[in-house]
């Protein structure tokens, strides 16, 4: 026995009356919710309309679940349809018992998102880059469902973080008590990958699906070595498990696309309506373009000036041509003129009366 180990849960199903509450399903649902929240925040930061990622999730989630289950059943068909299959064919539909192939989920989920993007008129590559970190986090959370089901563990190990697995579980080795916790390895890898994607996307302004390509390359790199630790039943080709070959192909394809899209500079539609300029509180008359507004204002200014001229001429004529000082009242002006006239004849007006 190792000196330390990670215990497995005693159960992965709880009952609310007659309704089963399965930890595997809860982990999947929680992962989806967190991915949508992260995607929504990133989409709004990019200028997209709020609620877009939520709407796209309505397309992606059912497509992804079907795709993930199809990939698992096709690649592990012997578990359900082989001569010594441990499961009955009908159990191929029991998704709550575990068994979702990530690549089937991503492929069909992307198809669902494509339908949603077409309906909204937004760019699929922009959405893919936005949701990539959230997908990685969702995988990190979803892997804990394998922990509750005591499945997809690695080979026996005496390391202090070895995972305890019940001896009656499929894939266990006689005499072994602890195994590599591959679910934990992948969960940690996915969380680290999500942080790298967020950093790289912001630091290098990656667009046109390059963040998503980086996600595929990063995930497959980790999945390749983690897959090599697993001892559950799988198809082998040239000494490698089928999922390892899938990781190699997708890793190369992701790098090729990452390089191919390096010079793409076209605009990616995020479907957001343009906002009005900051500080512009007044709205334009839809029947009166701004150019006409300016022209009308200019005409109005000229008209006001002409009116002012007419008023000035009228006032000049009314006063007999004399300009009135606005600071000098009319009575004062008359008095001054009288004095000036009296001085001109040598006689004072005040001394002429008794």
pLDDT of 145 over the 80 cut: yes
Contacts for 70 with CB less than 8 Å, ≥ 6 apart: 101, 104, 108
- Residue 155 CA to chain centroid, in angstroms? 38
Question: SS3 of 209, please?
Answer: coil
For the whole model, what pTM was predicted?
A: 0.75
The answer to whether 134 touches 40, Cβ cutoff 8 Å, is no
> Which range, of 162-166, 244-248, 336-340, averages the lowest pLDDT?
336-340
pLDDT bin (cut points 50, 70, 90) of residue 291 is very low
The answer to whether 257 touches 217, Cβ cutoff 8 Å, is no
pLDDT of 334 over the 90 cut: no
Q: CA distances (Å), 89 to each of 149, 270, 285, 340, in order?
A: 20, 44, 68, 127
> What was the pLDDT predicted at 228?
96
> What was the pLDDT predicted at 311?
52
Per-residue pLDDT reduced to its tens digit, 3-47: 789 999 989 999 999 999 999 999 999 999 999 999 999 999 999
Question: SS3 of 274, please?
Answer: coil
Q: CA distances (Å), 132 to each of 100, 171, 226, in order?
A: 19, 33, 21
> What was the pLDDT predicted at 78?
84
> What was the pLDDT predicted at 268?
95
pLDDT of 224 over the 50 cut: yes
């Amino acid at each position: 026995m190792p000196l330390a180990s990670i215990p497995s849960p005693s159960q992965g199903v709880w009952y609310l009356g007659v309704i089963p509450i399965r930890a595997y399903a809860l982990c999947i649902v929680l992962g989806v919710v967190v991915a949508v929240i992260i995607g929504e925040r990133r989409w709004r930061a990019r200028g997209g309309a709020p609620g877009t990622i939520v709407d796209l999730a309505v397309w992606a989630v059912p497509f992804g679940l079907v795709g993930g289950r199809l990939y698992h059943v096709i690649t592990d068909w012997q578990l359900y349809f082989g001569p010594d299959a441990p499961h009955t064919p009908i159990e191929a539909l029991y998704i709550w018992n575990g068994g979702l192939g990530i690549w089937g989920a991503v492929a069909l989920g992307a198809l669902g998102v494509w339908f949603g993007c077409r309906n909204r008129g937004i760019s699929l590559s922009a959405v893919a880059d936005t949701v990539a970190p959230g997908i990685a986090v969702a995988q990190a959370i979803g892997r804990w469902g394998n922990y509750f089901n005591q499945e997809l563990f690695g080979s026996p190990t005496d390391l202090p973080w070895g995972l305890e697995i019940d001896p009656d579980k499929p894939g266990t080795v006689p005499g072994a008590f602890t195994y590599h916790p591959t679910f934990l390895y992948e969960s940690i890898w996915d969380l680290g990958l999500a942080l790298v994607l967020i950093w790289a996307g912001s630091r290098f302004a990656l667009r046109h699906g390059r963040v998503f390509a980086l996600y595929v390359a990063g995930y497959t790199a980790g999945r390749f070595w983690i897959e090599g630790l697993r001892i559950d039943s799988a198809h082998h080709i040239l000494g490698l498990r089928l999922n390892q070959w899938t990781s190699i192909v997708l890793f190369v394809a992701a790098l090729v696309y990452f390089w191919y899209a390096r010079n793409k500079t076209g605009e990616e539609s995020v479907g957001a309506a343009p906002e009005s300029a900051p500080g512009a509180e007044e709205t334009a008359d839809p029947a009166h373009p701004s150019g006409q507004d300016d022209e009308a204002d200019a005409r109005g200014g000229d008209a006001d000036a002409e009116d002012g001229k007419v008023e000035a001429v009228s006032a000049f004529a009314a006063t007999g041509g004399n300009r009135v000082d606005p600071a000098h009242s009319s009575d004062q002006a008359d008095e001054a003129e009288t004095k000036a006239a009296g001085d001109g004849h040598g006689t004072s007006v005040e001394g002429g009366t008794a």
